[in-house]
Chains A and B, each alone.
Chain A
Amino acid sequence: MSNGNDQTPWRRRAADRVAHWVVSAGGLAIIVSILGILVFILIEVWPLLIPARVTVTRQLVLPGPAAGALVADEHRTHVAALGRDGRIRVVRLSDGRVVAIQDLLAAPERSELVDMQVPPESTTLAASTRDGRVVIAPVAFTVTFAGQSRVVTPEIATPVALELDLERQPLQSFAAQIDGDGNATAAAALADGTIAVVRRSMTENEMTGETTESTERASAQAPYRITHLVLDASQQNLYGGTEGGEILWWRLQEGQISEMQASSAGRSPITALNLLIGGRSLVVGQQDGALSVWMPVSHGGEADDEQSASARMTRIRDFPAQPGAVRLIAPSPRRKGFLALGDRQLGLYYSTSHRTLWTGTPPLAGASALVATPKDDGALVAGSGRLASLDIRNPHPEITLQTLFGKVWYEGYGRPDYVWQSTGGSDDFEPKLSLTPLLFGTLKGTFYSLFLAIPLGVFGAMYVSQFMHPVYKRTVKPLVEIMASLPSVVLGFLAGLWLAPRIEHAVPGLILAVFLLPLAVLLAGWGWSKLPRAFRGRFPLGTEALGFVVVLALGIWVCFALERPFEHLAFDSNFQHWLLQATGLAYDQRNAVVVGLAMGFAVIPIIFAIAEDAFTNVPSNLVAGSLALGADRWQTVTRVVLPTASPGIFSAVMVGFGRAVGETMIVLMATGNTPIMDWDPFNGFRTLSANIAVEIPEAPHGETLYRTLFLAALLLFVLTFVVNTVAELVRQRLRERFSQL
């Protein structure tokens, strides 16, 4: 080491070593963190795959006779339990103390209870009595704050008693509902084989504010031994299960009972019956352990209206049978999931995704009541004098490969289908998270844009590299590169607001242009070739292509001038009308053709640049050899240059594909973003990328939708990364081959 520097050699060497480590560590860290993007997205998607966990957190002594119905508060601090003796006991879960006791019915009216239940989608305790009545008592928990600590006070409303059996016989099975205004309906199977329905309506006089109560009574024959009844929250649909395994369905409207509809669920007696949130799915548990979900499906198949007369209860899905009879079913108060407790198994299930999320042994033997807590984070089981509190961690039950990519039979649909509809208007909405329509839309957009971009890009590149003088090449190439740099938001804006409304009235002209423009170019070329050679020789090679620009511009003008007569001749003077009549396709203003043009424009320069590179890099000795052997220019290009450069062309198309797949703004702005699946060029679609842009700002952090959108991003990442890598490897191999030639 010589000197000439004012620092000592030692210090300089140390600086060199430090720099070595800093640069290496820094460079590596940067590269690792760039690649960490993939890892982070994976981490965000991972929880979707984590199975549910159910743990018994506490076992308490529950005083009194066996509880038949439980209602818990939102924070899982208290539970109200209704016992066979007609008493409601409110138990504090932290220490098992009974903090309040109230009789369901006051002293003179008191009667022993026969059956108890919590009606679906309610926090109501309901029971049938030994003397033929049904009693309904809504339970509410109010939360107040004393300083920092939370005080939960249970409030049990005045019970409503409805007399179902005028002969005062015990009611074995019953169903009841009450709404916020006090309108209540109760139904019960009577000893004489009839179904009795009593409806209590409250009407408020708007002038005086007084409410008057009226009761209606209806009954229908039911020649079955009914084991369970359940009434939906709208008080309009009554479902029953029988000893012989039939599922019965009545509609209740204006005090009338409709004709009964019976469907068979097999021979085994029905031992448990409940409705999922929304009241459209009926969960049926049987003696032999069978567990199935039923929905009303309109018989026509298509109509989204289970209220239509042709709707029938249809067995939608079967869960794996439990080893013993299913005794209790508790629907989740937030989602389409439910708990089923049998003699020998407790299971956690999810209807939409058809998932058995967890199964285990029942926390206590002889269970008599089961309820899911309001936040869907736990459950309570009562039986044989004890109460078990369960903790449920079940963040993403909606997702399986089947729900993401397969057909799912959703509530209100006539058949299984691919649907993306992540949010709905109501709390009981069933999220439909199929990525298939989005993948389809992505491929559709890509297909239409590549349809335009591949020929224009590849052939344009071929011309520039093989038939054009370098003088032109130097100006043409930057022009195309500028094309690549146009922000996609500008292209999307032009496509959506300028092009789409114009194309709407110009489809016939467009069709005409597809045929006329090549013809015009051929004619112009022919005309050029007829010019005297001396004149042509004055211009560099490839000048005619510049002339074609003018020819094309004129051709386009001619096409649109001829459009009206053409439309008149070919399409009965109105293209959209003709389209609808001839093919049954409706015309959507922002459609695949518009996207194809705009996105094609974005992809052309990418394909062009890589293809041009591939053509130019073909060793000149090959070309010269071919020409020397007497082949003409075109023969050389098609039989020597094109085959040699074909891997490069392939790689260009792949990279173009990658760009089209991920493009967001153009599709967002130039399509209607409706997630539908058809190949119709005059219809819109929704792509994975646009879907992310539309939905992720509204998706709550950490919830299923958020993670599903991350999964969509992961799909895009992997897809484009793989495609680009393949393209890059092909290109590198090609380069190596060229260097050997």
Chain B
Amino acid sequence: MRREASLYGGDRGWSEFLGRSLTWLCGGALAFNILLVLAILSLLAWNGLGYFWQDDLVEFTMKDGTRVLGEIWQEEAIAITPEMPAVDRLRLKIGNRDITGLDFAWIDRANIASQRKPEDAVLIERLEWGNFHGYLRELHNGGLVLAQGSEAVWRKLLPLLARKAAERDRIRDLERGDIGDINYDIEKLRLAERRLDLAGLPATELARRKAELDQEIAAREAEYQRLADQLSQMRQALTAETLVAQTAAGETKEIPVGGIVSVIRPDSLGFFGKLGLQVKRIGQLIVDDPRESNTEGGIFPAIFGTVMMVFLMSFAVAPLGVLAAVYLREYAKQGLLVRLVRIAVNNLAGVPSIVFGVFGLGFFVYLIGGSIDRLFYPEALPTPTFGTGGILWAALTLALLTVPVVIVAAEEGLAAVPRIVREGSLALGATKFETIRKVVIPAAAPGILTGMILAMARAAGEVAPLMIVGMVKLAPTLPLDGRPPFLHLERKFMHLGFHIFDVGFQSPNVEATTPLVFATALLLITVVTVMNLLAISLRNHLRRKYAGSAV
């Protein structure tokens, strides 16, 4: 020990202790990082999956005789002033927004006289006004009473709901299908008329053609009227039956059965019943359209918009990135210039995404889009067609944002292809291009694919630039539909990331929508994380495969 101590001129024991302590602190830093990741992932998983889980409805009878029915969301002990003892209180989701005006209520534990879980308490998910908590009483059709009493209504209601859901589907098909088609046609005819105005035809010719168009429009409008009548009849039929339900407080409420999405009795569902419900709800979130300005219902258009935008982006980014990488690695003369270009391209990946958004707005939307409008869509001006944010511009902006990722990964892939392989191919008489096309690129494909996946994952999660170049809160139509030309590149679209921002921060009832945002966030990070893991494992596989073989 003595001899060792003089090595660094200090007391070995002390310095060793200090070194060990600092090592532990470094370990602590790492542990903290790991804890953070785990905490965030589990936070998202817990809250996100919790959104789908149905809790029991509990009916509380308070000491003053009033009753409340709700799901317990939170329990806390709160001290109003430091001197007073803490008060235990419960936060209930009480639903019935149309009656109480609030989704949540706080009750003090001290004021509770009794509590129970009534088997026949129902949770009615409605198209409007959120959920209803209460008890079934009667089922009416006009003045006719179809059923009375909780059990009888429950039995009648379930088949009726299935029928109503089918009716709602038919109404939606009519609205979106036939009526949508007619509106679309009328709009096109109107634009055709404007185009005639701008064409500068001789007066008689103009009048004749306009009369033709007017006739067509009139025919369409008559058809529209017919369908609109049919629609209003169907709507009437939909709301024929009404359900009379009673809240825990004793108020009765008439709910049109056509406006009910589902009715469940949470307290009579067992664990597996609830699990089934959870799975069903996850499915609904994915396939349903949003309701109540995005705060309820599903997120299908956002998923669709995200996926489609990412695919469009991939179509743009794959050839561009690979071409640039092949040029840099195989054709360009390796020197200072190429080295600088490589650094520049690399660093472009570090340029803030919002800068790309600004560029996309100025270049794609205003410059290119504006020019396209002036050349090809003058009849619609001043309403812009391409001169406003849309899915094409969003995809191209993201392509620019992610092309450095693909270039870097593809270059890495190309560089990893052993020289022996190339030389072998060249020695067998293949030209350089043939070697690249048939030998090098296939061998580098995993690297290119890794880059593509990373790019797509980044694009799926990126929000800031898209806020500027094409995303909207609520897009009435998908960018892909059954009307020619089928793919509508100029349309605005919905996006999962923007959905999170919008619903989480701009909706009037943030408290009630936070769970939905958690679910959306969970979906988004699942997609992004799976893609990233895929890319990582692909890359590792690639590295192992070529490790040591690169001569």
A interface, CB within 8 angstroms of B = 1-5, 12-13, 15-16, 19-20, 23-24, 26-28, 30-31, 34-35, 37, 40-41, 44, 455-457, 459-460, 462-464, 467-468, 476, 478-483, 485-494, 496-498, 517-518, 521-522, 524-526, 529, 542, 544-549, 551-553, 568, 573-574, 601, 604, 608, 630-635, 638, 655, 658-659, 661-665, 668-669, 689, 692-693, 696-697, 701, 709-710, 713, 716-717, 720-721, 723-725, 728-729, 732
Of B16, B27, B457, B463, which one neighbours A545 at CB under 8 angstroms?
B27
Of B40, B436, B533, which one neighbours A486 at CB under 8 angstroms?
B40
CA distance in complex: A463, B464 (Å): 34
Q: Are A689's CB and B464's CB within 8 A?
A: yes
Residues of B314-341 at the interface with A, using a CB-CB cut-off of 8 Å, are 320, 323-324, 326-328, 330-332, 341
Chain B contacts of A2 at CB under 8 A? Answer: 428-429
As a 0/1 sequence over residues 1 to 44 of chain B, the CB contacts with chain A under 8 angstroms (1 = contact) are 00010011000000110111111111111111111111010011
Query: Is B501's CB within 8 Å of the partner chain A?
Result: yes
Q: Are A632's CB and B464's CB within 8 A?
A: no
Q: Are A662's CB and B351's CB within 8 A?
A: yes
What are some 22 contacts across the A-B interface (CB < 8 A)?
Answer: A1-B429, A457-B33, A479-B37, A480-B33, A489-B461, A489-B501, A493-B517, A497-B517, A498-B514, A526-B24, A529-B20, A545-B31, A546-B34, A573-B82, A634-B16, A664-B463, A665-B463, A716-B355, A720-B351, A721-B351, A725-B344, A725-B347
Most chain A CB within a 10 A radius of its CB, from B345, B359, B362: B362
Q: Are B352's CB and A663's CB within 8 A?
A: yes
Q: Are A497's CB and B510's CB within 8 A?
A: yes
CA distance in complex: A20, B16 (Å): 62
Known: A635-B19, A721-B351. A488 touches B532 (CB 8 A): no
Chain B contacts of A632 at CB under 8 A? Answer: 16, 19
Known: A23-B323, A522-B24, A693-B354. A665 touches B341 (CB 8 A): no
Chain B contacts of A462 at CB under 8 A? Answer: 26
Which of chain A's residues has its CB closest to B532's CB?
A485
Chain B contacts of A526 at CB under 8 A? Answer: 24
Question: Of the 9-residue stretches B177-185, B248-256, B521-529, which lies at the interface with chain A?
Answer: B521-529
Which of chain B's residues has its CB closest to A37's CB?
B359
Query: Is B159's CB within 8 Å of the partner chain A?
Result: no
Nearest-Cβ distance from residue B155 to partner chain A, whole angstroms = 42
Of A16, A553, A631, which one neighbours B432 at CB under 8 angstroms?
A16
Chain B contacts of A697 at CB under 8 A? Answer: 467-468
Query: Is B234's CB within 8 Å of the partner chain A?
Result: no
Query: Is B59's CB within 8 Å of the partner chain A?
Result: no
CA distance in complex: A662, B347 (Å): 13
Q: Are A487's CB and B323's CB within 8 A?
A: no
CA distance in complex: A59, B29 (Å): 78
Of B23, B47, B323, B348, which one neighbours A463 at CB under 8 angstroms?
B23
Chain A contacts of B19 at CB under 8 A? Answer: 632-635, 638
Known: A30-B327, A498-B47. 5 other contacts (CB 8 A): A30-B324, A34-B324, A494-B521, A574-B82, A709-B358
Query: Is B431's CB within 8 Å of the partner chain A?
Result: yes
Chain A contacts of B16 at CB under 8 A? Answer: 632, 634
Q: Are A553's CB and B354's CB within 8 A?
A: no
Q: Are B348's CB and A34's CB within 8 A?
A: yes
Q: Are A713's CB and B354's CB within 8 A?
A: yes
CA distance in complex: A468, B25 (Å): 14
Q: Are A492's CB and B362's CB within 8 A?
A: no
Nearest-Cβ distance from residue B425 to partner chain A, whole angstroms = 12
Q: Are B343's CB and A459's CB within 8 A?
A: no
Nearest-Cβ distance from residue B513 to partner chain A, whole angstroms = 10
Q: Are B528's CB and A486's CB within 8 A?
A: yes
B interface, CB within 8 angstroms of A = 4, 7-8, 15-16, 18-38, 40, 43-44, 47, 82, 320, 323-324, 326-328, 330-332, 341, 343-348, 350-359, 361-363, 366, 400, 403-404, 428-429, 431-434, 436-437, 457-458, 460-464, 467-468, 497-498, 500-501, 504-505, 510, 514, 517, 521, 524-525, 528-529, 532-533, 536
Most chain B CB within a 10 A radius of its CB, from A23, A28, A553, A729: A23
Nearest-Cβ distance from residue A171 to partner chain B, whole angstroms = 50
Most chain A CB within a 10 A radius of its CB, from B36, B457, B462: B36
* A-B pairs with lowest CB-CB distance, top 9: A27-B327, A662-B352, A487-B461, A634-B19, A525-B24, A521-B28, A548-B31, A19-B433, A545-B27
Which of chain A's residues has its CB closest to B427's CB?
A2
Q: Are B359's CB and A489's CB within 8 A?
A: no
Chain B contacts of A631 at CB under 8 A? Answer: 7-8
Chain B contacts of A549 at CB under 8 A? Answer: 31, 34-35, 38
Most chain B CB within a 10 A radius of its CB, from A27, A488, A716, A732: A27
Chain A contacts of B330 at CB under 8 A? Answer: 23
Which of chain B's residues has its CB closest to A7's CB?
B434
CA distance in complex: A23, B328 (Å): 10
Q: Are A482's CB and B4's CB within 8 A?
A: no
Nearest-Cβ distance from residue A579 to partner chain B, whole angstroms = 16
Chain A contacts of B31 at CB under 8 A? Answer: 521, 545-549, 551-552
Which of chain A's residues has its CB closest to B537's CB?
A478
Of B20, B25, B432, which one neighbours A518 at CB under 8 angstroms?
B25
Q: Are B343's CB and A716's CB within 8 A?
A: no
Chain A contacts of B27 at CB under 8 A? Answer: 463, 467, 521, 525, 542, 544-545, 548
Of B29, B327, B458, B463, which one neighbours A28 at CB under 8 angstroms?
B327
Which of chain B's residues has its CB closest to A521's CB?
B28
Nearest-Cβ distance from residue A697 to partner chain B, whole angstroms = 6
Most chain B CB within a 10 A radius of its CB, from A488, A518, A634: A634
Q: Are A492's CB and B501's CB within 8 A?
A: yes
Chain B contacts of A662 at CB under 8 A? Answer: 350-355
Nearest-Cβ distance from residue A466 to partner chain B, whole angstroms = 8
Nearest-Cβ distance from residue A325 to partner chain B, whole angstroms = 46
Of B35, B47, B464, B497, which one neighbours A553 at CB under 8 angstroms?
B35
Chain A contacts of B346 at CB under 8 A? Answer: 724, 728
